[in-house]
Structure 1
Amino acid sequence: MIIPALDIINGNIVRLYQGSYRMQTNYGEPISLLKKYIQQGSKMIHLVDLDGAKNPLNRQSLLISQLIKETTPLSKIQIGGGIRNATDVEILLESGATRIVLGSVAVTQPKTVKKWFEYFDPNALVLAIDIHVYSKKNRKVAIYGWQKESNLQLEQIIEEYCTVGLKHIICTDISKDGTLLGSNISLYQSICHCWPQISFQASGGVNKLIEISKLRSAGVAGIIIGRAFLDNIFTIDEATSCWQNE
């Protein structure tokens, strides 16, 4: 599945360069872009509240709720950013979101979050693992809107949550995100091979249609694409055709 991404700061769509809040491009208000993506046939849209990811007290809850209402049932919504407790998850699911993305809280409070996988349908929860790739054996997990690096390796957090029925993971190579420098295809080949029971979503750097074919061949279940759509490098229809024809 091709999944367009809309990252939101202060009510506007932005793209960060390699996760830096100091290096952002503004693309305007989100509702018109959301409707455009739906008109172009998007079946799922990935929303990220970057204000919330940086500081949960600044979550854009009213805007996110409005965007979900504008979208469903025409398209599904996958939403993340600043989610810190089970009530946050429950409210978003009740408002119509299909999947809730769990990032920093899954790293900092694993005992609590693992209980959520027992309480909620694991298919409604997505683990977001954002990593700094130093080598094939050193892939450190970042948290709090990529502002801080944890001591956890990629494989550690995956194995932690496999014990509670983890179904979906978004894995982002931060060095690729927002750069249009190409996706880290070898990363996805590696993790899809190691954990074939998990549906992985590739995220970060896609800049050519040929990469979509390569990523699907690598085994990912979906590809999150942000800047390439925002900058009109290719369309959702073109990307979907590449995915379906692979």
Structure 2
Amino acid sequence: MGRNLQRGDRLRPVDLARAHGLSTQAVRNYEEAGILPAAGRTPHGYRTYTPLHAGALRAFLALVPGHGHRTAASIMRAVNRDAVDEALRLVDESHAQLLDDRRTLQAVESALRGLEPVAASGPGAGSGPNAVTGSGVTFVGPLATELGIRPATLRKWERAGLVRPRRDPSTGYRVYDEAAVRDARLTHQLRRGGYLLEQIAPLIARVRSAGGLEPLEGALRDWRGRLSVRGRAMLAGAAELEAYLRERG
């Protein structure tokens, strides 16, 4: 839909739909969800839209690739109820998450240069399920705390074959040696990068069989590329959102 229409021009749902390869029902759904401003009505009850609605639809569709459908919808709903600061906060949160993902990627790339063993220091050093022992060996609680996840998540990864702790013969506690800690850290980082457990499993298996982290290099290149695509999509979304804010006045 071009930008040379006048603000008062009336558009049919089909006009908006065709311009963006959508169904008329999708356009109506977006309006009902608050993504588009409320439509006008003809004396016979038919919806009528304006170039302002077209701008809202352009902004929403441009925001989705960078922010995701849910966040893009929340941004548009906030704008349409004149809560612009709330909309900008949501945009900022997405950018912050992207930055965090980039930092996560950098952390994984650092792992390619060699993961350090778990340090035998800090609170809890000693023995028992809450302790970190020497020689890079730890238990489920401290490792989960280090990674910022629940112990149940580590057990889920164990069931998926991603992490292989051994059992202490005297206590039955799970014990994570350096290789298990390495696998847990890599699994955590790749999950943060959007990889599914079934996608991670062959990478971990190859790392084990190869005795190193080289197999992750291709996955990291793909991850870096996806972050770049998302960053550029955010720029495109920001441009359309700013245009829509100007149209609203």
TM-score by length of 1: 0.22
Provide the TM-score with structure 2 as the length reference. Answer: 0.22
Q: Report the structure, 1 or 2, having the larger strand content.
A: 1
